[in-house]
Structure 1
Amino acid sequence: MQIDILIIGAGGAGLYAALSTIKENSDLNVAVLSKVYPTRSHTSAAQGGINAALANVDPTDNEEIHTFDTIKGSDYLADQGAVKYMCYEAPKIIRAMEHMGLPFSRLNNGKIAQRPFGGASKNRTCYSADKIGLVMLHTLYEQCIKKGVKFLNEWFMLNIVHNGKRVQGITAINISTGEITFIKTKAIIIATGGHSRVYWGYTSNALGCTGDGTAAALRAGLVLKDMEFLQFHPTGLRKSAILVSEAARGEGGYLINSLGERFMSKYAPEKMELGPRDLVSRSIMMEIREGRGFKDEEGREYVHLDLTHLGEEKIKERLPQIRELAIDFEGIDIVKEPIPIKPTAHYAMGGIHTNIKCETPIEGIYAAGEAQCVSVHGANRLGGNSLLDIVVFGNIAGKEAVRYVKATNFEKGGEEKLKEDIEFIKELMSKESKEHLGDLRAELGEIMFKHFGVFKNEKEMQEGYEKLKNLKARAYENLAVEDKSKIFNLDLQSTLEFFNLLDIADVLAFASLQRKESRGSFYRDDYPKRDDENYLYHSMITRNSDGSFNYEKGEVDLSLYAPAERKY
């Protein structure tokens, strides 16, 4: 199979990249490869909104203020030129999606409505009730169908193949047949999303958020950047860790401890519940740590998110999905009762290192969306900037890939990787499993949450890293695919995803141990202060053939604003 541009992943970044390639050159052979149907992608889970300085609610808002809010929110680790580009592109890309038919919520004057969000100084977050990701994904998919984009649905990427200079293609498995194939490409765009499933059982992410593209990039020798920075969203449901959108606090929700206090007054006296996510998550965990949380009969600790004062009418209009989730997963009607919540692993700021054109050091390999780290989020992402990131850089990746393939040919070779992957899967299918996948995944989640959670320290992380090494060795030694069939073998897919998670956990733990400071989402009890003198840099990691890591320091673009203390 030969494809000019292969986009891996069919979420917001992948679909916008596909539309961008078609717009630039409709004669190219472009396809989107996805392990799920596009409308099942995790973009659909985004609830709160997408940021753009439209100034529809606050006429004093502008792109420069959006840029500063984002840089401040990043704890000054974001690359400021990239942030500025994203924020200045935001109004244009919102209007482009509006013209596609995206059904934004509206003000009485007909303009797109904008709500307040955490870490933002203005009402900037455009929304569609509390289902913005769902309607955005469907709108983009409809446009892709309209434009004739080809889809390889239910295909799973195994590995990226290149010759050290240019991409040659990928190996992939057709889930519906079990056939393993080498797909020759001129360019690939990795848009496979995040990897918060390393916190299995403690994450808001869907089952498929297993960092497949990021892990494949690591194996292919590409640079991963800032992998120690993984954001915990403040409000996950107590039992399931499913997300309760920041929209709930944007609409006026209160965080309450067991003493009945709105405790954010102690941590962010001006912004209160709408402080940045890293600060709010730490504040919740601090309340629980110091005995001011609630505890249920199963020992789960949490605080309350109270929306009862908003009234039924406002909740029905602005937060209908949150009400449904609370009823389904907690048995609580948010009109009448507060929601039991706790922080949940939510978003990966780190990922595949690219420049602002979405290019990696290997020609023809691009990345976009949560899998990418162009570093517009730095050490902490602001709510509403992730959907913006995926469409802005999905758009760029598509354009740049077209520009590249028009001037290049298919590279020779690469098929030898197919033989390796066939042998690896054959071995997985032939041996008997000595441990169960479900048990190992749960163990991974427990290790990550306990040792690399909201609060970290040297002792806990060192212990966790040793446990991870042991788990990885056991998995490769003992784990096998129990289902021996070829067609729709989801046991095989889940096993391959777990190996990807182990690669991600390995590099995340290693990166965490190198940073001896606290910055944004990364907080250490033993180094509680930010240290700009020694740690204001991007961690840049590659893996050697023996499994060890190379660690380098990447310069942070500080061209606009000098680092300052964050106050909210």
Structure 2
Amino acid sequence: MKPFDIVIVGGGGAGLYAAMEAMKTNPALNIAVLSKVYPNRSHTSAAQGGANAALANKAKDDTVELHIFDTIKGSDYLADQDAVEILCSEAPKIIRELDNIGTPWSRLDDNTIAQRPFGGAGRPRCCYCADKTGHTILQTLYEQCLKKGVFFFNEYFALQLSVHDSRMKGLIAMNMKTGKVEAFPARTVLFATGGYAKMYWNRSSNAAGNTGDGQAIAYRAGIPLKDMEFVQFHPTGLRKSGLLVTEGARGEGGYLINSLGERFMSRYAPEKMELGPRDLVSRSIETEILQERGFDSPAGKYVHLDLTHLGADLIKTRLPQIREMSMYFEGVDPIEEPIPVRPTAHYSMGGIDTDIDGRTVMDGVYAAGECACVSVHGANRLGGNSLLDILVFGRIVGHAAAEEAKKFEPAPITPEEIKDAENQLRSYMQPSGHFERYGTLREELGQTLALNVGIYREASKIRKGVSELHGLQERFKHVRVFDTSDVFNTNLMQVLELKNMLDLSETVAAGALAREESRGSHTRTDFPQRDDEKWHKHTLATLEGDRVKLAEKPVTMGRYELQERTY
């Protein structure tokens, strides 16, 4: 195969914006997007609430500066301030560009783009398309990429980077339709594969495919991962499934109610109430449940998200998908009765360590979006900043890769590398002696993380989790794929995803054990205070042998000094 100038791994918002921007930067480039699902089915489509931008349409006194401060404060001061400044400064431009290429934003009465309040924000600045914002943005970007001539390789599973003497030569991937391993020689590779929160199993809002594939490939290639211990739990997942109920439901005026009929957020965030930052609201709900002020049911304990006072018209026009999901998955019509909710593993603040242009330590390898850690979210992401992240940095990294691609001379990927990858896949189908089943290992991984490295963490529990993860990694060596066919071998794909999650879960647990403080989404009951003297720094995780090695990296400061974070 002729070398590509850029191979983008992932067909979500970051990957598609990067492809669109790269083609705009240099239309002569040969650009490929690999995705294990069709791009318009990528997890970006699940983003409901919206994208932040200081347009000042709803609140006339909103400014970029206020957005920057809210983001840094929301991050518990772990975000890199130069990256945050770029994120917030570029936001209005990004929203208007999406508007110009056809994104159907909801509108205010004066026909300007509508904005709603979101958690941790000082002004209503979240731009939205009802409660289907990610879906509409994704369709718009996909159309543009098709129009500009981007090559799509849909239903391809990325396996590994091809690296020789620290030089990246391209990507090796499996064609899911045929089972064949194929080479994609490339001048540059850009990872945009999304997050890894699905490792938490049934208490996760993530799609089944959010298994950290890009981070795991980079990690095994020697590229550091940053701040992996910071996993965000969204306050309002549906009780049974963990599916997301957008923060927009609270932005429109929804109440959180405990079994005593109290709006309990008055105890935890008296000023912001239900629109406190996500880490705080999640801990508050979990505390209410642990202190027996939640509701009980065969599907687990929960609290109520009450929208009934908002009225049928508002719910039908601004939250139609939430109503539909509540009816299908909980048997509850939010027009008539409250929605049962509980925190759900939602977002990965950690990821592949990059600079502000998406470059990694390996020449020619870039990352953008949730799979990257630039770091704009620090210890806790504000609602409405995730779609913004993938759009702003998708654009920036796509431009950088397009500008720099010609610096890297292409090199062939040898037939021996392809054969080795094929043999590795076949080895899962031919274990000898004792074997392990995928389903058992997958269930135990989710339970181990939820019980030991969840919302509340403590040293003895984390150590137990680390020990159990090491045991699962050993048992994985005996995993067996029972389906030996080539065509759409979903059993094989599940096993490959499990390997990625097992590798990454160790970095999450190791970072959580090392960080002896509470900051943002990382809450240690044995170290309940934030410790700026010892822990105002990023953690870096690299693979050494078959175990994680931790290092540190300073936080990039700017005009905002450390201060107490209160709401």
Q: Provide the TM-score with structure 2 as the length reference.
A: 0.98
What amino acid sits opposite 2:213 in the alignment? D
Instruction: Note the C-alpha offset of 1:194.
Output: 0.2
Report how far residue 420 of structure 1 moved. 2.5
Q: Does 1:58 align with 2:59?
A: yes
Partner of 2:404: 404
Instruction: Give the structure 1 partner of residue 72 of structure 2.
Output: 71
1:128 deviation in Å?
0.6
CA 1:164 to 1:265, structure 2 compared with 1: closer, same or farther past 3 Å? Answer: farther
Corresponding residue number in structure 2 for 1:323: 323
SS state of the match for residue 560, structure 1?
coil
- Which stretch shows the higher mean deviation, 393-402 or 98-107? 393-402
Residue matched to 1:212:
213
1:507 alignment partner in structure 2: 507
Looking at structure 1, the residues matched to 560 and 418 of structure 2 have their Cα atoms a distance apart, in angstroms, of 48
How many residue pairs align between the two structures? 565
Aligned partners of 2:407, 2:38: CA distance in 1, in Å?
Answer: 32
Runs of 4+ in 1 over 4 A off after TM superposition: 412-416
Structure 2: state its 5+ residue gaps. none
Q: Tell me what 1:29 maps to.
A: 30
1:427 corresponds to: 427
**Matching residue of 2:169:** 168
Matched, 1:245 2:243: no
Structure 2 equivalent of residue 96 of structure 1: 97
SS in 2 for 1:346: strand
Q: Give matches, 1:195-206, under 5 Å.
A: 195-206=196-207
Q: Match of 1:108?
A: 109
Give the CA deviation at 1:412.
Answer: 4.9
1:164–1:358: structure 2 CA closer, same or farther, 3 Å change rule?
A: farther
Offset at residue 550 of structure 1 (A): 2.2
Alignment of 1:255-294 (within 5 A): 255-294=256-295
Deviations 1:521-556 (A, max 9, x none): 000100000000000000011111x21222211010
**What secondary structure does 1:295 align onto?**
coil
Aligned residue number for residue 564 of structure 1: 563
Q: Distance in 2 between matches of 1:438 and 1:253?
A: 38
Q: Secondary structure at the match of 1:366?
A: strand
The within-5 A match list for 1:373-392 is: 373-392=373-392
Judge conservation of contact 2:483–2:491 (CA < 8 Å) in 1: yes
Deviations 1:427-469 (A, max 9, x none): 1122378332122211111110000110000011111111111
How many Å separate the matches in 2 of 1:415 and 1:553? 38
8 Å CA contact 1:351–1:372 kept in 2: the answer is: yes
Q: Secondary structure at the match of 1:301?
A: coil
The answer for the alignment partner of 2:362 in structure 1 is 362
Q: Decide which moves more: 308-317 or 157-166.
A: 157-166
Letter in 2 for 1:471: L
1:141 alignment partner in structure 2: 142
Distance across 2 between alignment mates of 1:170 and 1:417: 11
Give the deviation of 1:201 after TM superposition. 1.0
1-structure distance, mates of 2:413, 2:13 = 32
Match of 1:467 in 2: 468
How far apart, in 2, do the equivalents of 1:368 and 1:166 lie? 20
Indicate if the aligned counterparts of 2:188 and 2:408 stay in contact, CA closer than 8 A: no
Q: Counterparts in 2 of 1:418-567, with a 5 A limit?
A: 418-431=418-431, 434-477=435-478, 479-544=479-544, 546-567=545-566
| Deviates further, 439-448 or 359-368 | 439-448
2:506, 2:548 within 8 Å by CA — same for their partners in 1?
A: no
Q: Is contact 1:34–1:153 with CA below 8 Å preserved after alignment?
A: yes
* Identical residues among aligned pairs (%): 54
Distance 1:413 1:313, change over 3 A: closer
Residue type at the aligned position of 1:324? E
Could you give the per-residue CA deviations for residues 288-339 of structure 1, whole angstroms, max 9, x where no partner exists? 11110111135x1111000000010110011000000000000000001101
SS of residue matched to 2:456: coil
Structure 1 stretch displaced more, 406-415 or 248-257: 406-415
Query: Counterpart amino acid of 1:550?
Result: K
- Deviation of 1:117 after TM superposition, in Å, equals 0.2
Contact 1:169-1:414 at 8 Å conserved across structures: no
Partner SS, residue 457 of structure 2: coil
Cα distance change, pair 197–139 in 1 and its aligned pair in 2 (3 A): same
SS in 1 for 2:347: strand
Residue 166 of structure 1: how far off its partner (Å): 3.2
Is the CA contact 2:5–2:406 (under 8 Å) kept in the aligned structure 1? no
For the residues of structure 1 that align with 2:414 and 2:365, how far apart are their CA atoms?
Answer: 15
Does the aligned pair in 1 maintain the 2:187–2:406 contact within 8 Å?
A: no
What SS does the corresponding residue of 1:215 show, helix, strand or coil?
Answer: helix
